[in-house]
Amino acid sequence: MNYVYGKNAVENIILKYSQQIKKIYILKGTSFAPDVYKQIKSQNLVWESVDKHVLSTLFKEKVAHQGYAAEINEFKFSHIKDIIANDNQKHIILMLDRLQDPHNFGSIIRTASLLGIDGIVIQEHDQVGVTPAVYKVSAGTVYDTPIVKVANLSNAIRELKDNGYWIYATTLDEDAVDIQTLEFAKKTVLVVGNEGDGVMKKIQNNSDVKIKISTTNAIDSLNVSVATGILLYYVINQ
């Protein structure tokens, strides 16, 4: 069974993606916001008021559920063909190379939702999945942006290139181009790397341009989710 927890995450899914919900759990003495309760009634969603122990037993580890949890459908990943643009309009895809921290992944998903990014690509292995913590940190925005899971990022890059995308990989290399000096292509793929060792060399070598963010300190002082937000802001606002 799949569960999500946290007030914002649960309420956002109730309001925007109620079809994903199987059952809602709320801590006794806690209430729903009026618009959330109205949605629950109008969609005939099943809910139950329970004590703290019941909420805690839904999860394998201790979580900050804030008195709200929900059983949801298994997350459905999109196919890469679903996010490829067929026109010449501005189109931005974010590719994540082996992210491990669910908080970083959740924050990036939330940023992608806020900025209207067209898709997120991750790989099947060595990558944190769409976990309850990711739902929580993203405030339930995991459904806003299509998320694609692929077996091999290099193959995905090849397919995206074949469809007119330019690949920009982040790196600490001295020969990387400062993003402030770049004019990004209309069809852009931004590749962001693992929290520890960044984007794999193989992926960097398959990219069209290696990029960096110039800071007063070293780039690795930037959290990956913060760096991703900066990158996306520059691309969108050109």
The 8-class DSSP code of residue 77 comes to P
Does one domain contain both 34 and 62?
A: yes
Q: What is the mean pLDDT of residues 93-104?
A: 97
Residue 179: CB atoms within 10 A of its CB come to 21
Q: What is the mean pLDDT of residues 129-156?
A: 97
Does one domain contain both 107 and 133?
A: yes
User: Among 215, 220, 216, which Cα is nearest to 198's?
Assistant: 220
Does one domain contain both 128 and 16?
A: no
Domain CATH number, residue 203: 3.40.1280.10
pLDDT of 87: 81
CA distances 18 to 31, 34, 66, 136, 138, Å, are 18, 16, 20, 16, 17
Q: Single out the residue in 14, 43, 72 at which a domain terminates.
A: 72
Does one domain contain both 54 and 118?
A: no
Q: What is the mean pLDDT of residues 128-153?
A: 97
Residues in Cβ contact with 186 at an 8 Å cutoff, skipping those fewer than 6 apart: 88, 89, 90, 91
The 10s digit of each residue's pLDDT in 170-206 is: 998 888 999 999 999 999 999 999 988 899 999 999 9
Integer Cα distance of 7 and 32 in angstroms: 9
pLDDT at residue 219 greater than cutoff 60: no
| Residue 49, domain extent | 2-72
Positive/negative CA dihedral, 171, 172, 175, 179: positive
Contact 128, 134 (CB under 8 A): yes
pLDDT at residue 215 greater than cutoff 90: no
Does one domain contain both 44 and 87?
A: no
pLDDT at residue 217 greater than cutoff 70: no
Does one domain contain both 218 and 106?
A: yes
For the chain, what percent of residues have pLDDT higher than 70?
Answer: 97
Q: Which two tokens stand for residue 77?
A: 């990943």
The 10s digit of each residue's pLDDT in 149-175 is: 999 999 999 999 999 999 999 998 888
Integer Cα distance of 89 and 18 in angstroms: 31
pTM for this model (two decimals): 0.93
pLDDT at residue 101 greater than cutoff 90: yes
Q: Single out the residue in 72, 106, 121 at which a domain terminates.
A: 72
pLDDT at residue 220 greater than cutoff 60: no
Does one domain contain both 68 and 140?
A: no
Does one domain contain both 114 and 208?
A: yes
Average pLDDT over the chain, rounded to an integer: 93
Does one domain contain both 31 and 94?
A: no
pLDDT of 43: 97
Does one domain contain both 36 and 114?
A: no
Does one domain contain both 61 and 105?
A: no
Integer Cα distance of 4 and 22 in angstroms: 11
The 10s digit of each residue's pLDDT in 81-95 is: 999 988 878 999 999
Does one domain contain both 61 and 102?
A: no
The 8-class DSSP code of residue 194 comes to B
The 10s digit of each residue's pLDDT in 20-75 is: 999 999 999 999 999 999 999 999 999 999 999 899 899 877 888 999 999 999 99
Q: What is the number of domains present in the chain?
A: 2
User: Which residue do the tokens 């996306």 mark?
Assistant: 232
